[in-house]
Amino acid sequence: MKLPNVIPFLLILIPLSAVTLLAWQPAENTMLSRWAKEVTPENAWQEYPRPQMVRESWTNLNGLWDYAITPAEASEPEEWTEQILVPYVLESPLSGIGKRLEEGEVIWYRKTFDATALDERMLLNFEGVDYECRVWLNGKYVGSHRGGNLPFSFEVTDQLQEGLNELILRIIDYTDNVDKYQLRGKQRRDNTGIWYTPSTGIWQTVWLEPVPNTYIERIKLTADMHGKLRVEVEPEGYMTGREKLHVSVLNDGKVITEKTVKSDVAQLWIAEPKLWSPKEPNLYDLKITLLDPRGNTLDAVESYTGFRTVGRKVDDAGNWRFTINGEYSFQHGPLDQGWWPGSFLNPPSDEAIVFEMQFLKDAGFNLIRKHKKVDPRRYYYHADRIGLLIWQDHVSGGAGPNEWPKWKRFRAELPGYEPRNERHWAPGDPLEADWPDWAHEQFMTELKTMIDMLYNNPSVIVWTTFNERWGQHRSLEIGAWVEAYDPTRLLNIASGGNFFPIGDIADEHRYPRPVFPLEVEKFDPYVKVMGEFGGHGFPIEGHLWDPNMRNWGYGGLPESLEEYQARYVETAQMLGELRKQGISAGVYTQTTDVEGELNGIMTYDREVFKMSAETLYQIHKEAGLLE
């Protein structure tokens, strides 16, 4: 499926002067990747942002916006004297600002554009705004949104006017305020250790989209290994109740089956489909059309799907194993923080995503554990195309059972075990935090939105609701909800400990060497995985984000690159032995260095590989980690 270029169907963005364009530059004295160095106000994220539901007409609002910072109690800024590059957050170098929002401050954004025709309904789409925003168009209130990790939209047909338009956002970011229960992932104002610089404001594409009076708001695709395809649409607008749905399935540009139904659900079947898997990431294009009772087109979108079934089954030794399309699947890949030195949460460009994924694929990995963040939708599109499995974490935040002895790791179960660190041990049953209802409801809203957004991506195969004990609450209730809401995927209730008996996976974290308490019987009904291990660090001179901060790796830093590589070989071989004993997956920490964490396979700027893809592939092959 070919995605459309920017088509300014009715809007003309007011051109910036040459002086303004020349004035923008990344924040000084900062680390940038090669892709960040190529970013300009004219080319900042111009790709179509929603590959799973494509319409031809759209207008990209990325580029230079006016911005201002005021106290939280202030009204709209009195003047706009500075500009910021969207979609890069205030603190990032690529924003052109590179400074933090202080406690008690909010950031305001303003964009002006010219509308020349207003014949259709108009949606204003935000792919990501961190954290809580209010939106006005031409002085009229459009709406508000809470949640920094996921896309949202407003219909702005009534607020849009012919001629000059003014769009304004007010954004507040609580970050470390635990009482706000903000889902923030790895962001923290004290960005030391495993925590990273906060990200405030617009961090993904902003775009306008014309839609008909009756349009398709959402599609839901379920395709399995047997060739069954279920297409559900959620229409919006004026409905008679007699509309029809037409679906065409294409392979190599040719229609192989199609169906029209008097319903919002169509079920199709394909004989002997080319299945999707990491080895063969076969995809089929879809054309989905909503018709009026006479057969006239009301709305049409393009999409794609991959026929695959995710499951688990017992091997001959009695161990539960992952399966893809009924075949055993050993899954091995990196923990991926998804942070970039020039742009933080948002990759600097589409090319940067593809580069990183292809490196991992060439290294013999078939898995990425997306850790405590949700990436732009194009990230998962490329995982679908390239053939990488995704374990998707829900973004963490809020209070957890942090005080001793309120959470327990797997190691505490071993007979005669003496805890090395009492903060990680608790006798008896695991405990969890007590969240207020309003905070839990927001947690669930963001969890549901994430699942809805990624449901159609065949690469996504596991939902991880909690990491260790971060923000862990109502575990059994949340786990049961996820299992019922998406039975097509597997559930990892708590990666790394504080395990509750629900879901499909028992997940241990152990640094630096992988060890799993295989003798503990309560984990026998689950797929056993090493959800984190390794974390071998090594500093590369000239490629440190901040040479003056504590730069570290698990197990201490080795004396030489050769020693670093030897540590990696040792842990890979240990994981290979665990595979023979019943472990079904291993997640190595991590893809890249991030700020003060030096435990990446490559440096934070993605310029130096501490081991080449070829070397890694050979190590993985010799350790018995390849499929």
For residues 227 and 276, the answer to whether their CB atoms sit within 8 Å is no
For residues 115 and 137, the answer to whether their CB atoms sit within 8 Å is no
**No. of H helices and E strands in the chain?**
7, 31
* CATH number of the domain residue 29 falls in: 2.60.120.260
Give CA–CA dist 301/123, Å, rounded: 15
Confidence (pLDDT) at 411: 55
Which of 211, 238, 258 represents a domain boundary (last residue)? 211
Confidence (pLDDT) at 2: 65
pLDDT at 149 over 50: yes
| 6 in any annotated domain | no
| 218 in any annotated domain | no
DSSP E strands, 445-579? 460-467, 490-495, 505-510, 527-534
Q: What share of the chain is helix, strand, coil (3-state, %, to 5)?
A: 15, 35, 50
Give CA–CA dist 452/485, Å, rounded: 10
Give CA–CA dist 127/479, Å, rounded: 27
* CATH number of the domain residue 422 falls in: 3.20.20.80
DSSP string, 174-238: -TT-GGGT-B-TTB-SS--TT-B----EE-S-EEEEEE-SEEEEEEEEEE-TTSEEEEEEEEEE-
How many distinct structural domains can be found in the chain?
A: 3
Confidence (pLDDT) at 406: 58
For 298-323, b/e burial (b = at least 16 CB within 10 A) is bbbbbbbbbbbbbbbeeeeeebbbbb
User: pLDDT by residue (tens digit) across 186-238?
Assistant: 999 999 999 999 999 999 999 999 999 999 999 999 999 999 999 999 999 87
Span of 8-12, 36-40, 228-232, 283-287 with lowest mean pLDDT: 8-12
Same domain membership, residue 332 and residue 273: no
How many CA atoms are closer than 13 Å to the CA of 154, on its beta-carbon side?
Answer: 20
Q: How confident is the model at residue 526 (pLDDT cuts 50, 70, 90)?
A: very high
For residues 307 and 324, the answer to whether their CB atoms sit within 8 Å is no
pLDDT at 414 over 50: no
Q: How many Cβ atoms are within 10 Å of 193's Cβ, its own excluded? A: 12
For residues 128 and 203, the answer to whether their CB atoms sit within 8 Å is yes
Q: How far apart are the first and last CA of the chain?
A: 29
Same domain membership, residue 260 and residue 138: no
| 219 in any annotated domain | no
Span of 30-34, 316-320, 467-471 with lowest mean pLDDT: 467-471
Give CA–CA dist 83/65, Å, rounded: 5
User: pLDDT by residue (tens digit) across 86-137?
Assistant: 999 999 999 999 999 988 999 999 999 998 867 789 999 999 999 999 999 9
Which of 305, 340, 375 represents a domain boundary (last residue)? 305
pLDDT at 427 over 70: no
Nearest CA among 409, 517, 531 for reference residue 464: 531
Which residues 6+ apart lie within 8 Å of 234 measured at CB?
216, 217, 218, 219, 220, 264
Same domain membership, residue 192 and residue 73: yes
| 259 in any annotated domain | yes
Same domain membership, residue 524 and residue 405: yes
Q: How many Cβ atoms are within 10 Å of 103's Cβ, its own excluded? A: 11
Same domain membership, residue 373 and residue 251: no
Give CA–CA dist 396/184, Å, rounded: 6
Span of 139-143, 315-319, 477-481, 516-520 with lowest mean pLDDT: 516-520
CA distances for 495 relative to 22, 142, 569, angstroms = 47, 39, 24
Range of the domain at 549: 310-623
What percent of the chain is predicted at pLDDT more than 90? 84
User: pLDDT by residue (tens digit) across 336-379?
Assistant: 999 999 999 999 999 999 999 999 999 999 999 999 999 999 99
Confidence (pLDDT) at 429: 67
pLDDT at 261 over 50: yes
pLDDT at 575 over 80: yes
Confidence (pLDDT) at 415: 46
pLDDT at 84 over 50: yes
CA 220 to chain centre: 18
Give CA–CA dist 113/224, Å, rounded: 45
CA distances for 498 relative to 465, 467, 476, 533, 587, angstroms = 12, 9, 12, 17, 18
DSSP string, 7-27: B-SSEEEPPPPHHHHHH--PP
Give CA–CA dist 217/256, Å, rounded: 26
User: pLDDT by residue (tens digit) across 586-607?
Assistant: 999 999 999 999 999 999 999 9
Joined tokens for residue 558: 């080795």
Which of 251, 281, 305 represents a domain boundary (last residue)? 305
| 158 in any annotated domain | yes
